[in-house]
Amino acid sequence: MPTEDKKTTKTIILKRFKPDTYRFWVSAVSATLQVYDCLDIVLGNEVKPTQQDPDVPPTPALRKSIASWENRHALAREALLNALDDRELVKVYQLSTAMEIWNRLSEEYGVVSDLKYARAETALRSLQNRQQPL
């Protein structure tokens, strides 16, 4: 998808966000964003290319690289925003980058999800231990 221009690139459709299944959502959304070559942008691993020397005009390759990054970023940001319901959207709509949205969701739901998982695993182990004969 990164070689297509804005006019022909379709919107990325992500799985609908549900706070109770945050970790599953992250897994599914990461896979989809990877297919569209957007995941590294969302994770902050691929930063927007910039001109090193402002006095030298950018090369055609740099202009193409910047345009590709901007297009993929816009697609990822739009997809993330569209995956959220209004209750979640109000928390992130003012954020300007896909990475900020991703990190905000992670800060709020990642820790909670980890705690719920740990609690559930503890309860399961407790049940398993009760069922084992002494």
What is the count of structural domains for the chain? 1
Task: Name the residue with higher pLDDT: 18 or 110.
Answer: 18
Establish if 75 belongs to a structural domain: yes
What is the pTM for the complete model shown? Answer: 0.77
Residue 57 belongs to domain spanning? 19-109
Establish if 105 belongs to a structural domain: yes
pLDDT in tens, 67-95: 999 999 999 999 999 999 999 999 999 99
Please check the confidence at residue 4 and state whether its pLDDT lies above 60: no
Establish if 88 belongs to a structural domain: yes
Establish if 134 belongs to a structural domain: no
pLDDT band at 54 (very low <50, low <70, confident <90, very high): confident
- CA gap 86, 93 in Å, rounded: 10
Establish if 73 belongs to a structural domain: yes
Q: How far apart are the first and last CA of the chain?
A: 59
